[in-house]
């Protein structure tokens, strides 16, 4: 018997297990690719530098990812799918206080997106939207589209429960999304990371946005 006790788990259920060499390298290459692509863009990035930064040989990088293009697409889709996921857009937990819930959701959305890493990803995808249209679409679906669908679902639930007046929930969901995200997101796109608002600014911005939305649908204003 080996001293290693290989019987720990023959199944694939071992998530945070020690991780084989191959998986470790795979992850290291993705890490390195993230740094290089987010810094230099797709064309400006060098596969030599990715390999160097990953502590791997170019040969290994190509064995794992096939080509620069495949590595790029794999990286961006992974980051895209991992971003909006933990935001609970799929729930329908309509509480009795729409204003409070909407404000909390707004802050959560801002926190998820207003990160240097995610902003650089977004700049990268927008800049390469000509070359990789499918990446733009993926980011749109996982970002704004999903958020608006989730908000629309919540608004419908509140209307049904009598907590909000009847109104065009689809339009309101869109208005909410851009009242919240429009200004900070576009400022950060063009002005760089130093335009990222502080947590206090985010809370104030979210509160103003929710107040405007509630006013626009004829709902009673946010209670303090």
Residue 164's φ and ψ, nearest 5 degrees, are -135, 150
Smallest gap from residue 70 Cβ to a copy of itself (A): 19
Greatest distance between any 2 Cα atoms in the chain:
73
Please give the residues from 13 up to 72 whose contact with a copy of itself meets the rule CB under 8 A. Answer: 39, 41, 43-44
Question: Binding residue for DNA (CB under 7 A) from 14, 27, 67, 165?
Answer: 67
Task: Tell me whether residue 69 or residue 160 sits nearer to DNA (CB atom).
Answer: 69
Does 64 bind DNA (CB under 7 A)? Our answer is yes
Task: Tell me whether residue 155 or residue 213 sits nearer to a copy of itself (CB atom).
Answer: 213
Smallest gap from residue 75 Cβ to DNA (A): 13
Please give the residues from 1 up to 20 whose contact with DNA meets the rule CB under 7 A. Answer: 2-4, 6, 8, 20
Q: Could you give the CA distance from residue 80 to residue 115 in angstroms, rounded to a whole number? A: 13
Contacted entry of a copy of itself, DNA, none for residue 48, CB cut-off 5 to 8 Å set by kind: DNA
């Amino acid at each position: 018997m080996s001293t290693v006790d290989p019987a720990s788990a023959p199944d694939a259920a071992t998530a945070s297990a020690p991780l084989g060499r191959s998986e470790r390298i795979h992850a290291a290459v993705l890490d390195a690719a993230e740094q290089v692509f987010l810094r230099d863009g797709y064309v400006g990035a060098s596969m030599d530098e990715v390999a160097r930064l990953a502590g791997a040989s170019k040969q290994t990088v190509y064995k794992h990812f096939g080509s620069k293009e495949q590595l790029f697409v794999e990286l961006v889709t992974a980051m895209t799918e991992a971003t909006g996921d933990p935001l609970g857009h799929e729930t329908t937990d309509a509480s009795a206080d729409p204003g409070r819930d909407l404000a909390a959701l707004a802050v959560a959305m801002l926190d998820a997106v207003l990160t240097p890493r995610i902003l650089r990803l977004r700049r990268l995808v927008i800049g390469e939207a000509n070359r990789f249209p499918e990446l733009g679409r993926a980011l749109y679906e996982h970002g704004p589209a999903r958020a608006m669908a989730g908000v629309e679902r919540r608004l419908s639930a509140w209307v049904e429960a009598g907590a909000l007046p009847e109104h065009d929930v689809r339009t309101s969901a869109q208005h909410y999304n851009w009242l919240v995200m429009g200004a900070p997101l576009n400022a950060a796109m063009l002005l760089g990371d130093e335009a990222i608002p502080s947590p206090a600014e985010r809370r104030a911005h979210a509160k103003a946005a929710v107040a405007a939305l509630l006013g626009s649908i004829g709902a009673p204003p946010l209670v303090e």
